[in-house]
Amino acid sequence: MEKNEKLMQGNEAIASAALYAGLSFYAGYPITPSSEIAEICSKELPKRGGVFMQMEDEIASMAAIVGASASGAKALTATSGPGFSLMQEHISAAVIMETPVVVVNVQRQGPCVGLATKPEQADLTQLGWGRHGDQAVVALIPATVAECFELTVKAFNIAEKYRVPVILAPDEQVGHVRENIVVPAPGELPVINRAKPTCAPDAFTPLSFKPGAVAPMSAFGDGYITRMTASMSGEDGCSNSDPDNASRRVAQLHTKLEAGRAEIVMIKTFDTDDCDVLIVAIGSPVRCARTVAKEARAEGKRVGVLQILTMWPFPYAEITPYLKKARKVIVPEMNYAGQMAGEVLKCLDDPDKLIKVNTFNGQIIKPEDIAKHI
């Protein structure tokens, strides 16, 4: 079969992959640097029988995709930092109602409006902990255009299988870079749809609080009684303030992701078997890290790269063996404090092994920024 090779922008790959995964509803509000995703969906969804809605703001956008998903649609919105901040309460509602949605946050330099068209990675902590309450979501971060496509499909699959909001968060550099990629043929990448109830309507319960369980999901109009509330509920979907019920409810929201950790948590490694220096990176700095490692190898220096693709749940257990083998660990990222470095530090046996490389001026990290520390 002839390969379908195309020159694509990162945001274009995200929109194309969402359609590949079965996207049928998009609601959003234009915001740089994510607007290409909305533009493409506005053109393509109506051709496929889907729905595109431009909303009045990001709060309404998030509410709309939660409602669409509850009605059976695969739903998406895309935004950047300021809009993502506005979405937090409704993402929290999607968590407790176990409503699968995908949210794209193309990260840009802040705070507030900041440098609206420049890249940054200062939302890393917010991706995991931006909402109130004891909750868990999945956050995936691509470094290439090909990964934009693959991780978007993966985001929909995880959302549908585990009934959880999934956040895809490329930085602006990845969202706007253009590269040749081989677009997967239909059926080449697996596409997962949410499990539907098969029992008799009178035997259906909309939730299951067994550890690790994910209940089948009915849609409004399917013939099953469907109850959804943002308050604490019982397995029947009705409000329930009993402490024992709350304990089981909150625990299950975490254990379902813990049970699926093997397919949710993803890393890649490059020349890590014998490395003295390990560069741990996420998003566009991965590209610089790999360039530095290749040049260092050519000079006889043992340098490897560990790429993190799943920011949350953070891959503590998965990266620890690689960190222990290295003499020095370099973490380059585009923020002031070292938001990912703080998580890496939790896995180190010696904190003095860690070297942070940070930019926070709207400019990308360059190879020389990393190389001078080797």
48-59 tens-digit pLDDT: 999 999 999 999
Inside any domain, residue 194: no
pLDDT computed for residue 3 by the predictor = 84
Inside any domain, residue 196: no
Structure tokens that stand for 273 in this block: 């078997």
| Domain end among 223, 247, 262 | 262
Inside any domain, residue 173: yes
Inside any domain, residue 191: no
Distance set, CA 209 to CA 49, 163, 217 (Å): 36, 13, 14
3-class DSSP state of 295: helix
Q: For residues 37 and 78, state if they share a domain.
A: yes
**Domain around 92:** 5-182
193-214 tens-digit pLDDT: 999 999 999 999 999 999 999 9
| Domain end among 246, 262, 278 | 262
pLDDT computed for residue 120 by the predictor = 96
% pLDDT > 70, the chain: 100
Q: For residues 272 and 246, state if they share a domain.
A: no
Inside any domain, residue 193: no
Q: For residues 129 and 175, state if they share a domain.
A: yes
Average pLDDT, the chain: 97
Q: State the Cα–Cα distance between residues 117 and 107, nearest whole angstrom.
A: 10
Residue 60 pLDDT > 70, yes or no?
Answer: yes
Burial of 4-37, coded b for 16+ CB within 10 Å and e otherwise, reads eeeebbbbbbbbbbbbbbbbbbbbbbebebbbbb
Residue 2 pLDDT > 80, yes or no?
Answer: no
DSSP string, 124-137: HHHHHH-SSSS---
Look at the chain and report how many structural domains it folds into.
3
Q: For residues 166 and 96, state if they share a domain.
A: yes
Inside any domain, residue 187: no
Q: For residues 290 and 163, state if they share a domain.
A: no
Residue 132 pLDDT > 90, yes or no?
Answer: yes
Instruction: Please report, for the domain that includes residue 334, its CATH number.
Output: 3.40.50.920
Q: For residues 221 and 286, state if they share a domain.
A: no
Amino acid, res. 297 = R
pLDDT computed for residue 282 by the predictor = 98
Q: For residues 55 and 123, state if they share a domain.
A: yes
214-254 tens-digit pLDDT: 999 999 999 998 899 999 999 999 999 999 999 999 999 99
Q: For residues 297 and 162, state if they share a domain.
A: no
Q: For residues 15 and 123, state if they share a domain.
A: yes
Q: For residues 132 and 157, state if they share a domain.
A: yes
Q: For residues 16 and 69, state if they share a domain.
A: yes
Inside any domain, residue 55: yes
Number of helices and strands in the chain (H, E): 14, 16
pLDDT computed for residue 225 by the predictor = 87
Burial of 319-334, coded b for 16+ CB within 10 Å and e otherwise, reads beebbeebebbbbbbb
| Polymer length of the chain | 374
Residue 1 pLDDT > 70, yes or no?
Answer: no
| Domain end among 262, 279, 312 | 262
Inside any domain, residue 189: no
Instruction: Please report, for the domain that includes residue 140, its CATH number.
Output: 3.40.50.970
Q: For residues 150 and 14, state if they share a domain.
A: yes
Q: What is the pTM of this model?
A: 0.97
Q: State the Cα–Cα distance between residues 168 and 171, nearest whole angstrom.
A: 10
294-323 tens-digit pLDDT: 999 999 999 999 999 999 999 999 999 999
